[in-house]
Amino acid sequence: MKQFKICVIGLGYVGLPLARLFATKYPTVGFDMNQARVDALNGGHDTTLEVDDALLHEAIDKHGFRCTTDIEEIRDCNFYVVAVPTPVDVNNRPDLTPLWRASETVGKVISKGDVVVYESTVYPGVTEEECLPIVERVSGLKFNTDFFAGYSPERINPGDKEHTVEKIKKVTSGSTPEIADLVDSVYNSVLVNGTHKASSIKVAEASKIIENSQRDVNIAFMNELAKIFNAMGIDTNEVIEAASSKWNFIKLKPGLVGGHCISVDPYYLIQKAQVYGVLPRVMFAARRLNDGMGAYVAHQVIKLMNKRGLLVKNSRILLLGIAFKENCPDIRNTKIVDIYSTLEEYTRNITVYDPWADAGQVYQEYGISMTNDLPVGKYDAVILAVAHEEFLRLDILTFKTKNGVVYDVKGVLPQSIVDGRL
């Protein structure tokens, strides 16, 4: 097989773990526009906590892995991997700006015979219709004649230390049958559980977008059930446990749908479907329902407080967690902000405690002041919003006033100590 020098463009939750893994077999350079991020990584620390410091130091010291913001340092690479975010704008329309800019970067350095593989989650057609024309235009090279492409959708699950990048089975694809084989062999060389080679780039793109859309729809159904059973005074967790006794029941739980994947990716397929004259009603409904769950939780807490005779106005509330999921510092698109903003209409005395999240990033992104230190005092409402390990060890009742309420968003606390939960 051809000797490759790999460059991974975008060193976030997806790009860095992949670059670290490639470095075990190939000369690898990581490229990112954020100088502070690059400096931290070259110093051996990943602030996202996806790559342990020991592994990062090993990649640097043993395998020669390095990161850079200098485009000249990636010019001699011949296998480029693009792993930049694919967000939506304020109107939930796909924002391809990071992909466009990354494609321009590739176009400035790609040479004849080189390969560029995209990992960013997109709707079918983005790689060939949006990205590769930019690479062609900037480089002056012809696609599938001078350079080639592939698509291998990322499957990183932030904070998951079991399904790490080397253990994930990856979907691969290429712009020609020969390139598909080549891309597949490169990924297979570093993966424990191998690959699934798709027949085309569009099939690979579509496979990724439906992974997250399926989860979004399934969770929306559980959230709708939670609303129904809460209105009936029935414990949703008990219903799920009872239903799970049947062999073919799929056990899922209600919850907030945040983060950069499940709450964002369906919008990419929704938009593209409408271009083809298809209105994805189920996906639309799931997105609306899931996006409203933060406000629903807040109103449930307010309802419980009213029943206890607690004055909601100017009450003291403790919100445990603001990261979008447990045991992870990732705050991207966290729906806990919706709980906060709804409650803030009634009181400004809201303490947000999260030992994982970066207080500076939270304030910069959401304008919310939070603390990494265990709070003191009593609160009229305590809301467990994230199931961090630290929270599961707390004596929650010590934080609430005599008539205070405890609300469990995650359904992990003993029923005996909670007043309400999804």
Q: For the chain, give the secondary structure using H, E and C.
A: CCCCCEEEECCCCCHHHHHHHHCCCCCEEEECCCHHHHHHHHCCCCCCCCCCHHHHHHHHHCCCCEEECCHHHHCCCCEEEECCCCCECCCCCECCHHHHHHHHHHHHHCCCCCEEEECCCCCCCHHHHHHHHHHHHHHCCCECCCEEEEECCCCCCCCCCCCCHHHCCEEECECCHHHHHHHHHHHHCCCCCCEEECCCHHHHHHHHHHHHHHHHHHHHHHHHHHHHHHHHCCCHHHHHHHHCCCCCCCCCCCCCCCCCCCCCHHHHHHHHHHHCCCCCHHHHHHHHHHHCHHHHHHHHHHHHHHHCCCCCCCCCEEEECCCCCCCCCCCCCCCHHHHHHHHHCCCCCEEEECCCCCHHHHHHHHCCCCECCCCCCCEEEEEECCCCHHHHCCCHHHHEEEEEEEEECCCCCCHHHCCEEC
Residue 316, by phi and psi: left (phi above 0), alpha (psi -120 to 50) or beta? Answer: beta
299 with 184, same domain: the answer is no
Check residue 161 and give its pLDDT: 81
Mean pLDDT, the chain, rounded, equals: 95
- 7, 77, 131, 261: which one is catalytic? 261
* Residue 238 falls inside a structural domain: no
Task: Specify the pTM.
Answer: 0.91
For the segment 224-231, the average pLDDT, to the nearest whole number, is 96
Is residue 261 annotated as a catalytic residue, yes or no? yes
* Residue 103 falls inside a structural domain: yes
Residues 358-417 have pLDDT tens digits of 999 999 999 999 999 999 999 999 999 999 999 999 999 999 999 999 999 999 999 999
Residues 200-218 have pLDDT tens digits of 999 999 999 999 999 999 9
192 with 309, same domain: the answer is no
Tokens of 2: 């051809």
Residue 1 has pLDDT above 70, yes or no: no
* Residue 279 falls inside a structural domain: no
For the segment 261-284, the average pLDDT, to the nearest whole number, is 94
17 with 137, same domain: the answer is yes
192 with 297, same domain: the answer is no
191 with 337, same domain: the answer is no
177 with 303, same domain: the answer is no
190 with 330, same domain: the answer is no
For the segment 168-176, the average pLDDT, to the nearest whole number, is 97
164 with 310, same domain: the answer is no
Total tally of structural domains belonging to the chain: 2
Question: What domain range includes position 407?
Answer: 293-422
Check residue 157 and give its pLDDT: 81
* Residue 237 falls inside a structural domain: no
Which among 169, 184, 199 is the end of a domain?
Answer: 199
* Residue 228 falls inside a structural domain: no
Residues 316-359 have pLDDT tens digits of 999 999 999 999 999 999 999 999 999 999 999 999 999 999 99
* Residue 44 falls inside a structural domain: yes
Which among 199, 215, 236 is the end of a domain?
Answer: 199
For the segment 97-106, the average pLDDT, to the nearest whole number, is 98
* Residue 395 falls inside a structural domain: yes
Residue 251 has pLDDT above 60, yes or no: yes
CATH number, position 123: 3.40.50.720
181 with 33, same domain: the answer is yes
193 with 299, same domain: the answer is no
191 with 301, same domain: the answer is no
* Residue 56 falls inside a structural domain: yes
178 with 299, same domain: the answer is no
Which among 163, 179, 199 is the end of a domain?
Answer: 199
